[in-house]
């Protein structure tokens, strides 16, 4: 339980730092947010907990495939905001788009023998 709490606090600190940096410089905050810090931490913790190369390789590969459908969200949200759509609706639309694209990627990947 202590390990979980440490992991949660560390992850929360990273997210809070990103928000703090973004208040001063949106571009710098975006740069830090784009770094795969949480993915790398997740891989380190998975390796520490299991030492399983196959599981870690599957995790890293699945992360790659799941990152791709999340990228259009980062274009849709600013486009909607610039056209006067409210923040919460823009965020919801971005999330819905991402979910739909996740489902599409899983279905398409399966056709090529990639299991996610």
Question: Would you tell me the crossing angle of helices 2-24 and 37-50 to the nearest 10 degrees?
Answer: 170
- Tens digits of residue pLDDT in 31-65: 888 888 889 999 999 999 999 999 999 999 999 99
pTM as predicted: 0.77
User: Is pLDDT above 90 for 3?
Assistant: no
Instruction: Encode pLDDT of 57-88 as tens digits.
Output: 999 999 999 999 999 999 999 999 999 999 99
């Amino acid at each position: 339980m202590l390990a979980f709490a440490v992991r949660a606090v560390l992850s929360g600190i990273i997210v809070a730092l990103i928000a703090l940096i973004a208040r001063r410089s949106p571009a710098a905050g975006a740069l830090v947010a784009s770094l795969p810090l949480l993915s790398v931490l997740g891989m380190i913790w998975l390796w520490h907990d299991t030492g399983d190369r196959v599981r870690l390789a599957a995790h890293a590969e699945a992360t790659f495939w799941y990152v791709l459908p999340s990228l259009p969200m980062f274009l849709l949200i600013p486009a909607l905001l610039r056209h006067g759509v409210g923040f919460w609706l823009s965020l919801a639309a971005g999330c819905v788009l991402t979910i739909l694209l996740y489902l599409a990627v899983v279905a398409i990947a399966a056709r090529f023998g990639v299991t996610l």
